[in-house]
Amino acid sequence: MAGSRPGTWPFHRSARIALMRLIQISDCHLHADPAARSRIGIPHHQFVRVIEAVASWRPDMVLVTGDVSQDETAASYALAARELARLDCPWYWLPGNHDEPARMAECRAFEDSVTLGQRRLLLLDTQIPGQTHGALGAARLEALAERLAEDDRPTLIAMHHPPIGVGSRWVDALGLVDAEAFWEVLATHERIEAILCGHIHQAFEYHRATPHGDVPVYACPATSDQFLPGAETFAVDAAALPGFRVLDLDDGLSTRVERVAF
């Protein structure tokens, strides 16, 4: 958006309360070859359709919560960046377990914090190289505690791996292994507004109790294949469409999931 700078953007809606619209997409699993197929679709085609639908919602910011690539190639990240650049707003991404962070950052630098008007969004890297599950580790948890302590604005946190179980045994085995340590850090801070995660290829919402009230955890559909909710072993949900999550931020937070036919 003309005149904006990395990490911030102007309000472009006129209303009694400034409304910020954040859209989350995730788990694109793109290949260098745009015609490459996944299990039940063509990831690049689905990604393009999702981006077209996202644009119609006029977001103020778009966030991609990891697994942008399937083959970890520079070309796959270039394909993603080309489509995301069509949006009339800033966009940011973070790595998932399928990503190659160095190539990803060469294409588009990572941000670890974004200002959302009177809020902020912290972007966390949960990748363990070579592993499907994720972790923050002692150093990242300490850094998170410091970042939370230095600023009392309402805060959203984004990460790839979910910090809670999602009710699917095989998915939960591949989640955030130090989730309880993460929640211990959050327990000391009052203004955690929501957690956004990817990895699970399905719409999901859970409210985790903390000493300062419930904190919602949201995931969104993948732009690629969807996983079957509640499955004990790996299963694709062939009936579920790709999609994205819309979050509207003003005095509070409201959210909905949108699906996209392809």
Under the banding of pLDDT at 50, 70 and 90, the label for residue 159 is very high
The set of residues, in sequence order, having a beta carbon less than 8 Å from that of 194 and lying 6+ positions away, is 156, 157, 215, 216, 217, 218, 247, 253
2-6, 16-20, 56-60, 236-240: least confident range: 2-6
In contact, 34 and 85? CB cutoff 8 Å: no
Average pLDDT, the chain: 93
pLDDT of residue 160: 98
Please count the other Cβ atoms lying within 10 Å of the Cβ belonging to residue 246.
18
Residues 177 and 164: their CA atoms lie apart, in Å, by 10
Percent of the chain with pLDDT over 90: 91
* 12, pLDDT greater than 70: no
DSSP β-ladder status, 213-219 and 253-259: unpaired
Q: Could you read off the pLDDT of 161-216 as tens digits, one per residue?
A: 999 999 999 999 999 999 999 999 999 999 999 999 999 999 999 999 999 999 99
Residues 42 and 47: their CA atoms lie apart, in Å, by 9
- Strand arrangement, sheet containing 253-259: 91-93, 61-64, 20-25, 243-249, 253-259
Domains of the chain by range and CATH? 20-259 (3.60.21.10)
pLDDT of residue 91: 98
Mean local confidence (pLDDT), 252-260: 97
Closest CA to 199 of 177, 226, 233, 236: 226
Higher-confidence residue: 41 or 18?
41
Q: In Å, what is the CA distance from 204 to each residue of 30, 97, 209, 247, 249?
A: 23, 19, 17, 14, 19
Where on the phi/psi map is residue 142: left (φ > 0), alpha (ψ -120 to 50), or beta?
A: alpha
Q: Could you read off the pLDDT of 95-125 as tens digits, one per residue?
A: 999 999 999 999 999 999 999 989 999 999 9
